Structure 1
């Protein structure tokens, strides 16, 4: 048996060397990551150490007469390849143990000889390791004492294979790593595909605007498939139309028309500093001048004296009555005192709503009814992770409408779309300045598409 150790940058490099030097029947014995070089422990390069073995003593003889395929241009790989590889590879490890499945077929449209050879070697190495794992697991189980049903410890019925020893775990881990390498190989080919120029520019634009990689991939893949279906004959105008159609489709059911005609009470919630009080003033002006309604204010934001005074100032300018409350009972009495108003806008306390306890406290203050609406106000200048966590907390209490503020202070509109895709909420308004009542926009699909394409700054 010949045993050789390889130190390489990537697993496909190792596979190629193993195939060239040890032949197609070689078996990978172990793999591990390592770092080499550097200066005084710094700037070390990450490498992969692979130990492989072959039963034969002369690999060169077995390879005589086998011509190497010439390298040709790499054609774009379709998006189905990664999933095909994963599904075929997954079949090699059923719940009852480890077995060897048939070699998954490479898609016909992928004619890269290097990829084909790497795919062959990966499958053969995986199959050899699987056979070896199956034999060793059988030996381990035969040698270990069997437990009776009464002695067997209870375990959750997950339907997944559970290793019975560290030895089995190590063998299965190697197989999982091979699957990961297959997926990475497929992804590298997918990333190297040549997108049409408008679609490539669109992809770069989305990433600059901080759209999530998952959403970008979904949109680009959808348009790319349409381009392939047209036999790559779509014009630039047709591609742009397809892009806009894709964005529009993702917004279906995610845009709300604003405050309803029969709404009596509107609760405004959100963390500190997102512009809740100014937003309430804009909503009040919109209801007074556009909807011709009589408006009343309630504020529960007594944590900051300036918040109460700010709303009092707006109430004075708009000639609107205002009530200050501190408890759920106060809210009911304030609503009764404002019964002559057509609609009541309530400003809630700005709290740290990353803490779900504060969300629960706020929910107990609100008396949500059929003719009431609750809006969550979020600033587009906030961190995406914070926005998502706050939205998750509020969505547990049935909140479904969002107002995004400070559009004028950022170019990154991606988090807004990420939120709409990941949580069961809809967008009602966008604010893009400090001017009351001008800088309040009712969200609509056309404006949102313009934002994505870089044309909508209102």
Structure 2
């Protein structure tokens, strides 16, 4: 197999040289545009680089092998070009989308521009923010940044808020990333069930990775006079749950897991399939970055959670995740925690309260911009 590259002005010139050098049976392997000449890239002229191949009659014994390799190389080269074209197309579409977004922003009345910036500052999903501003534009044209707008904005936000507070019965599983406050949240709900609702409950923990977490939960359980057991495997957890059937509620604590660890995600999936809880809470921190929040919600779907609990609301002034999390995860927010105190710092998620909180913060940002 003979291979040769040509630097030519156009494809016609390339074909003439290839035919002369390699014969009529030659095959063009690839073409690409190159620049040559000039000084430091200035004044360089664009040429066409053509790579061609042909059979070598002296290697007839390896003909079939070489043809196969050539076909394989051609396929790979074509796939590579297609991938590059797709990447370029995606980049072009993204740039066009950004340009159109900037154009729409500049076309908006000044106060609506401020509202949109407020929604963006609160990290409300870009699609939702755009829809809300468009609704306001259609309904009012321009707006005044006053209390009447706050109420109207809250009404529009309410359509995107998804909440549901379930009855805590049977087996209730808590899982989520490391450090989001699962154990403290579980203790808050345990106190609510024990003291307020007078439920007969027990606690089962599988968080055996951290001794401190088990000790913390034991302390809470002792103070509230709640039975607590420890399991080290899904099989042990199932046996413990079978022994706890007489309780109204069993709260199940799990170890924090990284959404980027495939093994840990597989372990969580296996645990869920063995336990089959009545409720499964995914616990997420409100101060997560939007990209991390999205990643967690997508990867933790292996456990088929029924509800969200958003924690550490007291540690942020950005509340867009109250809308973003249920939108991306496809499950409602049940509870929100806003401090470390047990059992005080936990509230039931209320859609109207969330909408009014976000509208107030958006308007505050808009008024100060």
In structure 2, do the counterparts of structure 1 residues 332 and 440 end up closer, same or farther at CA, with 3 Å as the change threshold? same
Pick one of 153, 164, 167 that aligns with 1:256.
164
In structure 2, do the counterparts of structure 1 residues 173 and 321 end up closer, same or farther at CA, with 3 Å as the change threshold? closer
CA drift of 1:423 comes to 2.7
**Residues 265-302 of structure 1 deviation map (CA, whole Å, 9 limit, x = unaligned):** 10000111111110110010111122220110000011
Match of 2:129 in 1: 216
- 2:123, 2:93 → 1: CA distance? 30
- 2:125, 2:156 → 1: CA distance? 16
Pick one of 321, 324, 334 that aligns with 1:415.
321
CA drift of 1:383 comes to 2.6
CA contact (8 A) 2:313 2:339 kept: yes
In structure 2, do the counterparts of structure 1 residues 187 and 265 end up closer, same or farther at CA, with 3 Å as the change threshold? closer
1:192 aligns with 2:100: no
- 1:246, 1:279 → 2: CA distance? 31
CA contact (8 A) 2:116 2:129 kept: yes
| TM-score w.r.t. length of structure 1 | 0.55
CA contact (8 A) 1:395 1:424 kept: no
3-state DSSP class of the match of 2:107?
Answer: coil
RMSD of aligned Cα (Å): 3.6
CA contact (8 A) 1:223 1:239 kept: no
Q: Give the number of the structure with larger relative contact order, counting CA–CA contacts within 8 Å between residues 6 or more apart.
A: 2
- 1:439, 1:178 → 2: CA distance? 48
CA drift of 1:186 comes to 4.6
In structure 2, do the counterparts of structure 1 residues 333 and 183 end up closer, same or farther at CA, with 3 Å as the change threshold? closer
1:276 aligns with 2:190: no
In structure 2, do the counterparts of structure 1 residues 246 and 356 end up closer, same or farther at CA, with 3 Å as the change threshold? farther
- Between the two proteins, the alignment pairs up a number of residues equal to 287
CA drift of 1:202 comes to 2.8
- 1:177, 1:353 → 2: CA distance? 28
- 1:208, 1:177 → 2: CA distance? 25
- 2:90, 2:269 → 1: CA distance? 46
1:344-383 maps to which residues of 2 (within 5 A)? 344-366=250-272, 367-369=274-276, 372-383=278-289
In structure 2, do the counterparts of structure 1 residues 291 and 200 end up closer, same or farther at CA, with 3 Å as the change threshold? farther
CA drift of 1:403 comes to 0.6
CA drift of 1:246 comes to 1.0
- 1:174, 1:309 → 2: CA distance? 55
1:216-365 maps to which residues of 2 (within 5 A)? 216-228=129-141, 238-251=148-161, 254-258=162-166, 260=167, 263-365=169-271
- 1:316, 1:215 → 2: CA distance? 46
- 1:225, 1:348 → 2: CA distance? 48
**Residues 84-104 of structure 1 deviation map (CA, whole Å, 9 limit, x = unaligned):** xxxxxxxxxxxxxxxxxxxxx
1:435 aligns with 2:341: yes
CA drift of 1:175 comes to 11
- 2:270, 2:115 → 1: CA distance? 45
CA drift of 1:220 comes to 1.1
Match of 1:445 in 2: 351
Higher helix share: 2
3-state DSSP class of the match of 1:192?
Answer: helix
| TM-score w.r.t. length of structure 2 | 0.68
- 1:353, 1:412 → 2: CA distance? 23
**Residues 111-159 of structure 1 deviation map (CA, whole Å, 9 limit, x = unaligned):** xxxxxxxxxxxxxxxxxxxxxxxxxxxxxxxxxxxxxxxxxx9xxxxxx
CA drift of 1:419 comes to 2.3
- 2:148, 2:245 → 1: CA distance? 55
Q: Gaps (5+ residues) in structure 1?
A: 1-40, 42-48, 50-152, 154-162
